[in-house]
Structure 1
Amino acid sequence: MSNTIETSLEITTPIDAVLFDYGLVLSGPPNAKAWARMRTITGLDEESLHREYWAHRHEYDRGTHIAYAYWELVAAGNGLTFTPEQIADLVATDTDLWTDLNYPMVEWARALQQAGIRTGILSNLGDAMAAGLLKKFDWLSGFYHCTWSHALQIAKPERAIYQHATEGLATAPDRILFVDDRADNIAAAQEFGMKTIQYRDHAQFADEMYARGFGPLLHPRPHDPAHDALDKTKAL
């Protein structure tokens, strides 16, 4: 059985690295309690907060705005001014909004890492959000390379950010499987040369992995250093 999986993995899935989006791939949907707290802090109704939260989000993720400036824009769009204390609370709560994990994908990433397959993250995230996630989740250090958009002042679906992620993984684009929830990000990755799957839910994702010939990657074998040593001996 294990030999069959190894052979299938080599022949049907020429993948050396898996690149993950963070939001709605490694994380689950926004936390409802955190969103309700943001409404309480701001005093805004659902429509007003939702409108301004997303109106400036891409430029925040892209690093055009730091967190403080982003929340000033959210306030101004509603004719308000937030105090420094409100903004500090909003920054912390915004991180909480995106910290419910999509455990099947997090566990799969760990399994890939244990199997010696390179993993990376390519995510559009603002400065405070990235800092908050890195502080909260030790497991993020297990990824071979992470590309956070704010640090580069470029963001998906810009071509340059896929180039950066590819260089960070030290892997050719056509040997990378990229998983993202957005169709525009997937299209840009495909144009760059990556293999891609758009993530909607885990059942759909697993079905598509098998349909595309990537099924063996879902059950990678733990990496055995002794096996590497044996291969080197055989090569000699």
Structure 2
Amino acid sequence: MTTWMLFDYGEVICLPQPAGAMAAMAAMAGCDGDAFHDRYWSHRDAFDRGLASHLYWSGVLDRDLEPGDPIVTRLEDADIASWSHLNPASMDMLGDLAGSHRLALLSNAPEPIAAAIDAAPWASAFDHRFYSCRLSLAKPDPAIFESVLERLGADPADVTFLDDRAVNVDAAAGLGINAVLYRPPGHAEH
């Protein structure tokens, strides 16, 4: 029987980044939008695993930045804001499950986003919040799920995991976790 409901954050608890958010960050930094987009994602795994913010944005902007550089702060704030639009359907689901299950969060997230989530009032619904930046592991690496299971004191069969990425669902299922590919209401398969 499922005791723990383990949720992903990006595109499960929160909605996808709004259209135009990436272009706005690129314009803020004075960068070409396509190059910014490519570097934003190509450096993201290291950021999610704990790379310092100024080093991540140095890679994205393709120039050396120091901690506390104003552009780092502005981009960090814009990035956090772009991932802070909550999914109403997921928030309803959390409310429905709160009385019957223990709730936990597992997100590939850099420290600035992890800190913003921890500070959000709705985050108190989760008994535990796990972030790739603090574990130095990221989904779909099975080691991150093993670490979470150990910290929860749970057997794989005691956990149901919801994530929007099939590769993450497959990795969790490979360990015996009841893993579900999350699709919001009204999602159309392509």
TM-score where L is the length of structure 2: 0.90
Q: 1:85 aligns with which of 51, 70, 95?
A: 70
Q: 1:66 aligns with which of 52, 57, 72?
A: 52
Whichever of the two has the greater Rg, that structure is 1
**Which residue is equivalent to 2:164?**
181
Higher helix share: 1
**Which residue is equivalent to 2:82?**
97
**Which residue is equivalent to 2:26?**
39
- Identity %, equivalent residues: 33
Q: Within 5 A, what are the aligned runs for 1:55-204?
A: 55-63=42-50, 65-76=51-62, 80-81=63-64, 84-113=69-98, 115-135=99-119, 137-203=120-186
Q: Distance in 2 between matches of 1:18 and 1:166?
A: 12
AA partner of residue 75 (structure 1)? L
Show structure 2 runs of 5+ residues with no match. none
Q: Distance in 2 between matches of 1:75 and 1:53?
A: 9
- Residue by residue over 1:68-116, the C-alpha shift from the partner in whole angstroms, topping out at 9 and shown as x without a partner, is 110011111xxx4557111110011100010111111122112211x14
3-state secondary structure, aligned to 2:180: strand
Q: Distance in 1 between matches of 2:22 and 2:65?
A: 17
Q: Distance in 1 between matches of 2:25 and 2:141?
A: 30
CA contact (8 A) 1:17 1:176 kept: yes
CA contact (8 A) 1:122 1:148 kept: yes
TM-score where L is the length of structure 1: 0.73
Instruction: Tell me which stretches of 4 or more aligned residues in structure 1 moved more than 3 Å.
Output: 80-83
Aligned-CA RMSD value: 1.8
CA contact (8 A) 1:72 1:81 kept: yes
Show structure 1 runs of 5+ residues with no match. 1-13, 205-236
3-state secondary structure, aligned to 2:40: helix
- Residue by residue over 1:90-149, the C-alpha shift from the partner in whole angstroms, topping out at 9 and shown as x without a partner, is 011100010111111122112211x141111111001111112222x2111220111111
CA contact (8 A) 1:118 1:169 kept: no
Aligned-pair distance for 1:33? 5.0
Aligned-pair distance for 1:165? 1.6
AA partner of residue 133 (structure 1)? I
Equivalenced residue count is 186
Q: Within 5 A, what are the aligned runs for 1:4-43?
A: 14-43=1-30
Q: Distance in 2 between matches of 1:33 and 1:124?
A: 22
Aligned-pair distance for 1:47? 1.0
